Amino acid sequence: MELLLATAVGVLTASGIYLIMRKRTFPVILGLSQLTYAVNVFLFATGRLALHQPPILNKYAEVTYADPLPQALVLTAIVISFGMTAVIVMLALSAYLSSRDDRIDLTEEPGDDA
Amino acid sequence: MNHLIIAPIVLPAMLAPFIIMVIRHHLDLQRIFSVAATLILLGIAFALMGQSLGGEIQTYELGDWPAPFGIVLVLDRLSALMVLLTSVLALPIVLYAIGSGWDKRGRHFHALFHFQIMGVIGAFLTGDAFNLFVFFEVLLIASYGLMTHAGGTRRLRAGVQYVVYNLLGSTLFLFALGTLYAVTGTLNMADLAARVAEMPPEDTALLRVGAVLLLLVFAVKAALLPLHFWLPLSYANAPLPVAALFAIMTKVGAYSILRMYTLVFGPEVAATQGLVEDWLLPAAMLTMAAGAIGILGAREIGRLVAFAAIASMGTLLIAVGLFTQAGTTAAIYYMVHSTFATALMFLVADMVMERRGPDITPHSPMPQSGLIASLFFVGAIALAGMPPLSGFIGKLLVLQASWPAPERVAIWAVVLIGSFVTIVGLARAGSLIFWKSHAVDPQTDPDTDEPTEIDTAPEPYPGLTFTAAFALLAGLIALTIFAGPASEFASATADQLFNPDRYIEAVLKGAEK
């Protein structure tokens, strides 16, 4: 389980970092979403891995429980990253539509400006 | 509990949706509400400042949950000062945006403006690391909207870069917080500080990783070299009044460094000893050098001021990076100065750009050239740190504070040569824009019909724009005249920062009940 999770975080981060260094906006956005998936999985792991356990304390019996805080953090992170992906897609789309070019860097070619 | 502490967050948080939902088609009403709210905010900030002058650390427990379990807001001297600084900066900028008509070139300027204020103030007040992340996101999301306000191809493309870079920063922030939580099991700053101090030094490898990751995040925000390269492009392509507001955003990064690395990973914490100090100071010196060289090479006035902002962040971070009480005193004084000076220069740059376009080349003279030139002159003096304005006092404090440090030769050389290069760069730009323009005959000016995307329509209320600029200038002059009380306050603030026990005690008092 640990190996699986660590591999998932590692592979997602690596491919995310590769993709954000690309020149066009589409792969960069894909890379950003992969990075956010990676960080969400990583946040789950910060409360230690616990399978099939409720995130609540039981005051009548000594039972193990999953740490609820990372779950709340992941929820916040998912909401934010989901919204941000929508924003960047819209922004990249409008930048593409107004300049007919989806390169991420600003080139100083004549006619590119204005 | 003192409910005034949360008022500066709640006020913009209520006002911004109100503007969007109720009065989105009435620009005049938006302007009235926006200015009125900014004035109220200023009043609240002054009240909070008055409460924290005595040195008492107040906390506000959201939902009345006791400290390490719920989120707390903490008001100490530094937080109160930063909230006040934000409110004082917000008023001239909103006046300028109204006066120059920037707020009607796109939609929702005032709503986004107040969301941005909410995020910045929240980041200054919160006592919880994850909450800091959330407020960072609030201020960033608002800044994405403000950055691309009024549109235009170049601005949109610069906006894409800005958003991508900051999304990466946010991801990194989450990785850092996750690592810290995995090691310590808490995200409350005071609780973090208590647990980090108790941690045995041999199993703190992950903690150090978390501390460095967090520093990287704040360095991105504070435009520290080599993570600064988002700033010139973004600021120069953003609407310049917005860039003036962003002057406080880089300070959020500096504030966070100051807060986290005195409270949680303080200089006396064995686990992270020598980790931050060794990196921050050289990076800050390089930042200042890069900013000064950038000023010299800038060909557009927006970039010129953006590089000046980087140089002043460099000076500020040198003072922060000393991690001594005297250094922090200088940093706090310089932070106030640098915010006003950078914002003033961005407003002046906008006035120039509106009248003659962004290039630093001789054109035919523009209207109101004399008044703008004098503002540019005074602003440049302040930004470069020449006497008699507060920049000089700030830099003097930085130099004085760095005297006991072993790196003093390097620091003095960088600050003094950097300031000199800044003066040269600003003087060059100023004389090209304001003096040599008079030598150009309007008839033979090749650039009169240059294609710029700037709307060269006259400002609707030019009086208001100059009022805003002079208000910022008045702030700088006040900071110079009252330099004594101001630096005493800065020193008291630094004293509070370097005695984190009181902060921890104030926050965790509920847990021991």
Q: Is the pLDDT of residue B203 over 80?
A: no
CA atoms within 13 A on the CB side of B427: 9
* pLDDT at B449 (0 to 100): 47
* pLDDT at A111 (0 to 100): 43
Our CA angle for B112, B118, B120, nearest 5°, is 105
- Alpha carbon of A38: minimum distance to chain B alpha carbons (Å): 9
Q: Has residue B187 been placed in a domain?
A: yes
CB proximity B447 to A under 8 Å: no
* pLDDT at B267 (0 to 100): 78
* pLDDT at B459 (0 to 100): 66
* Confidence bin at A110 (pLDDT 50/70/90): very low
Q: Has residue B136 been placed in a domain?
A: yes
Between A53 and B146, the higher pLDDT residue: B146
| Phi, psi angle pair for A94, to nearest 5° | -70, -35
- Alpha carbon of B469: minimum distance to chain A alpha carbons (Å): 28
Q: Please give the Cα distance from B337 to B349 (Å, whole number).
A: 18
Q: Has residue B513 been placed in a domain?
A: no
List chain B residues with CB under 8 Å of A113. Answer: 153-154, 453
- What's the CA dihedral at B299, B305, B306, B307 to 10 degrees? 70
Q: Is the pLDDT of residue B446 over 80?
A: no
How is residue B456 written in tokens? 């060269």
Using the beta-carbon criterion (under 8 Å), do B163 and A88 form an inter-chain contact?
yes
Q: Is the pLDDT of residue B349 over 60?
A: yes
pTM as predicted: 0.91
Report the residue of chain B nearest A47, measured CA to CA: B182
List chain A residues with CB under 8 Å of B161. Answer: 104-106
CB proximity B293 to A under 8 Å: no
What average pLDDT does range B193-198 have in this prediction? 88
Q: Has residue B272 been placed in a domain?
A: yes
Between B174, B233, B452, which is nearest A77 by CB? Answer: B174
Residue B405 CB contacts under 8 Å (≥ 6 apart), including other chains: B322, B324, B327, B411
Residue B76 vs residues A40, B83, B258, B309, B342: alpha-carbon distances, Å: 33, 11, 13, 27, 25
SS (H, E, C) B180-248: HHHHHCCCEHHHHHHHHHHCCHHHCHHHHHHHHHHHHHHHHHCCCCCCCCHHHHHHHHCCHHHHHHHHH
Could you tell me which of A42, A20, A52, A53 has the C-alpha nearest to residue B182? A42
List chain A residues with CB under 8 Å of B210. Answer: none
What average pLDDT does range B222-227 have in this prediction? 86
* Confidence bin at B455 (pLDDT 50/70/90): very low
- Alpha carbon of A6: minimum distance to chain B alpha carbons (Å): 14
Considering its fold, how many domains does chain B have in total?
1
- Alpha carbon of B470: minimum distance to chain A alpha carbons (Å): 32
Neighbours of B46 (CB within 10 A): 15
Supply the DSSP symbol for A60. Answer: S
List, as one string, the DSSP characters of B406-421.
Answer: TTHHHHHHHHHHHHHH
Report the residue of chain A nearest B129, measured CA to CA: A73
% residues pLDDT > 90 (chain B): 58
Write down all domains in chain A, each with its CATH number in brackets: 2-49+66-99 (1.10.287)
Between B130, B182, B451, which is nearest A114 by CB? Answer: B451
List chain A residues with CB under 8 Å of B71. Answer: none
List, as one string, the DSSP characters of B436-474.
Answer: GGGGS-TTT-TTTT---SS--PPPS-HHHHHHHHHHHHH
Q: Please give the Cα distance from B44 to B86 (Å, whole number).
A: 12
- Alpha carbon of A59: minimum distance to chain B alpha carbons (Å): 18
Between B51 and B202, the higher pLDDT residue: B51
Report the residue of chain B nearest A90, measured CA to CA: B160
Q: Has residue B476 been placed in a domain?
A: yes
Using the beta-carbon criterion (under 8 Å), do A106 and B233 form an inter-chain contact?
yes
Q: Please give the Cα distance from B395 to B319 (Å, whole number).
A: 9
Which residue in A21, A37, A88 has the most chain B C-beta atoms within 10 A of its own C-beta, making it the best mutation to test that interface? Answer: A88
Q: Which domain holds residue B427?
A: 3-508
- What's the CA dihedral at B411, B416, B420, B426 to 10 degrees? 60
User: E strands along B62-138, which residues?
Assistant: 72-75
Which residue in A76, A84, A99, A107 has the most chain B C-beta atoms within 10 A of its own C-beta, making it the best mutation to test that interface? Answer: A84
Residue B234 CB contacts under 8 Å (≥ 6 apart), including other chains: B147, B158, B159, B161, B162, B246
CB proximity B158 to A under 8 Å: yes
List chain B residues with CB under 8 Å of A46. Answer: 178-179, 181-182
- Model confidence over B249-288: pLDDT tens digits? 999 999 999 999 999 888 777 777 777 878 899 999 999 9
Using the beta-carbon criterion (under 8 Å), do A80 and B137 form an inter-chain contact?
yes
* pLDDT at B458 (0 to 100): 58
* Confidence bin at B332 (pLDDT 50/70/90): very high
Report the residue of chain A nearest B161, measured CA to CA: A104
Q: Please give the Cα distance from B222 to B137 (Å, whole number).
A: 15
Residue A13 CB contacts under 8 Å (≥ 6 apart), including other chains: A34, A35, A38
Q: Please give the Cα distance from B415 to B321 (Å, whole number).
A: 14
CA atoms within 13 A on the CB side of A84: 33
Could you tell me which of B452, B455, B431, B296 has the C-alpha nearest to residue B369? B431
Q: Is the pLDDT of residue B513 over 50?
A: no
Our CA angle for A20, A21, A24, nearest 5°, is 80
Q: Please give the Cα distance from B244 to B153 (Å, whole number).
A: 21
Is the peptide bond prior to B388 cis by the omega test (within 30 degrees of 0)?
yes
- What's the CA dihedral at B313, B333, B77, B69 to 10 degrees? 10
Q: Has residue B150 been placed in a domain?
A: yes
Q: Please give the Cα distance from B503 to B489 (Å, whole number).
A: 18
Residue B451 vs residues A98, B140, B196: alpha-carbon distances, Å: 17, 31, 58
Out of A94-108, B160-174, B230-244, least confident range? A94-108
Could you tell me which of A100, A88, A91 has the C-alpha nearest to residue A31? A88
Our CA angle for A94, A99, A103, nearest 5°, is 90
